[in-house]
Structure 1
Amino acid sequence: MTLQELARSVDHFAGEHAETVKGCETGIAGLFVHRQTRPSPFEATVYNPVICLNLQGCKEVTCGDRTLGFGAGQSLIVSHDVPVMARVTEASAQHPYLAIIVALDIAIIQSLCDEVGETVLDRRQASTLTANATDGRIIEAIARYFALARDPLEAKVMQPLILREIHFRLLTASHGGMLRQLMQRDSHASRISRAIGRIRSGYRAPLAVASLAAEAGMSPSSFHEHFRHVTGTTPLQYQKELRLMEARRLLSMDGLSVSSAAFEVGYESATQFSREYSRKFGAPPRNDVFRAAAASESRSL
């Protein structure tokens, strides 16, 4: 299947399932499609480990001081959970932005170590987010994976096999350097990945960076250096990003008050929360409360 044929298939699927599939889900765990008909402003979010295969249009992602743009035929590989600013830069009703996103499983990557580890092992410095032209074998594997969304019986058997193949293909890709480092359970990349998991699971609690460094088997200074290299930020700033983005969801989706959202995500001062929220999103949190209330009222009419 060519890239253009896959783009048409995704475009048709997204339109066909717009009312029956939540968001951009496909029914296959960890497989998503993205269709957008207009450019968008930068939006703050946290990317999980994924490959995003761009089929049509263009997207731009900023992590720390790095900005990556990628267009049709290119893919973005994300190796760790990282806070980013992302936007679609090229899209229209006639030529929408189209992409397939496949969630990556670090356990699968590490399970491949015994089979291919010495062959693809890469100790060179690599980036958490990388964009490059996509190898045809990766496109073909992702196309077969996407086709499973229309065949539940075949998906039961083939889903784990094709997903493992995709991971293998990415480990040998030119922009899979950080994934190759994740194969080693004791690499800096793997240790920082585990530290990120600890922060994400307990982001509401005070962060003891020294304890995280000790668990990672690093000195505090080395831990900070490697953490910043992977995430583009410090551990404390990373925690703050998680808190603020979860608070925005609570305000916009769950209808919490500003003070309730602040305390729910771990802030002790609603004033400090409002100040940092405004700095992050460019407007005070009460604006999102008003928008959520207006949207709810509109839906009830």
Structure 2
Amino acid sequence: MERLIDDASRRVRAADGGGDQPTVQQLMPGLRILRQNSPSSFQASLYEPVLCLILQGRKQVAIGEETLSFGPGECILVSHDLPVTSRITKAPYLALTLAVDVAALRELYDKVADSALDSGPARVVQKHRADPGLLDAMHRYLALADSPADARVLGALTSTEIHYRLLTAPFGGMLRRLMRRDSNASAVARAIGRMREDIRSPITVPELARRVGMSSSSFHKHFKAITSTTPLQYQKDLRLLEARQLLQTGGPSVTTAAYEVGYESPSQFSREYARKFGVPPSQDLADATGTA
């Protein structure tokens, strides 16, 4: 763990501006170093399947009514695209994040699947203390950034090892269920994919349930159990997150952003935006364009 902290700190130090804004560096495919020098307020975002390993500091992640707190040596594993709110509670904060490659997991699962893999906790967000094998593999993957030749040959192999360790770990239960195409976890993932493909179109629970081969009641039950929210609220969160990204990059007007993400009423959009993010959409746009 100490070697991993030293290596990550060395790499990010040169790019650290010393201010309150986070420093983000990507050194290997899917692998990023994040550093922040001060605590932050809660911020809404969409987590795609990811492993986040805390090296220094502490972080809180809220999913529905549950809040997880994790610190040095602990990791959080997210199996589905998930709207969350999170904040840094102790700084300096240093973490590694690795995008989880679902296709790579499925190929591995086909090779190692057996009844033993069906055991273990099955939660969409799983907190766990990183074991020595995972820490070593993460460190070796990070170290490959020093040698492009080694990275070309060993990068894919080391990434595969990390995914294998996640898939077979005691806390990888939801990942294992996700790999089974007949599972509820897989059905919910397909429904989420459908919503993300076209966030503008209205959805109905019966339509989504039909698309993934489930009854409406069963689909609603399992969707909420996995994501801690309802399908309609999930789509609303997707729309608001997409709109905020548009506005914070100095994009369209508030009204245009509302229509682009599927709202029919700009006033309703503004109310729900302010309720979720704590500021009106006009403020985010003004901050982005320097017209405040």
Q: Distance in 2 between matches of 1:117 and 1:126?
A: 16
C-alpha deviation, 1:11, in angstroms? 1.4
Q: Distance in 1 between matches of 2:120 and 2:132?
A: 25
Residues 194-252 of structure 1, C-alpha deviations (whole Å, 9 max, x = no match) = 11111111111111332211121110111011111111111111111011011111111
- Give the aligned partner of residue 46 of structure 1: 46
Q: Distance in 1 between matches of 2:281 and 2:15?
A: 33
CA contact (8 A) 2:27 2:142 kept: no
**Contact 1:120–1:171 (8 Å) recurs in 2:** no
Q: Which residue number corresponds to residue 11 of structure 1? A: 9
1:162 aligns with 2:158: yes
Q: Which runs of 5+ in 2 are unaligned?
A: none
1:25 CA drift (Å) = 3.3
Compute the displacement of 1:123 (Å).
5.7
Matched, 1:99 2:95: yes
1:122 alignment partner in structure 2: 118
The percentage of counterpart residues that share the same residue type is: 49
Residue 198, structure 1, aligned to residue 197, structure 2 = no
Per mean C-alpha deviation after superposition, the further-off stretch among 26-35 and 132-141 is 26-35
1:5 Cα deviation (Å)?
1.8
Give, in whole Å, the separation in 1 of the partners of 2:264 and 2:201.
11
Q: Which amino acid aligns with 2:4?
A: L
**1:178 Cα deviation from its structure 2 partner:** 0.6
Q: TM-score, normalised by structure 2?
A: 0.93
Range with greater deviation from structure 2 (78-87 or 277-286):
277-286
Distance in 2, matches of 1:23 and 1:151, equals 23
2:134 maps to what in 1? 138
Q: Does 1:290 align with 2:286?
A: yes
Q: Which residue of 2 aligns with 1:238?
A: 234
* Structure 2: distance between partners of 1:36 and 1:60: 14
Alpha-carbon RMSD? 1.8
Tell me: CA distance 1:215–1:255, structure 2 relative to 1, closer, same or farther (3 Å). Answer: closer
Deviates more, 1:115-124 or 1:276-285: 115-124
- Structure 1 residue 23 displacement after superposition: 5.7
Q: Distance in 2 between matches of 1:268 and 1:208?
A: 17
The alignment's TM-score, normalised by the length of structure 1, stands at: 0.91
- Aligned residue for 1:178? 174
Cα offsets for 1:265-288 (capped at 9, x unmatched) = 111111110111111112211111
Letter of the structure 2 residue corresponding to residue 40 of structure 1: S
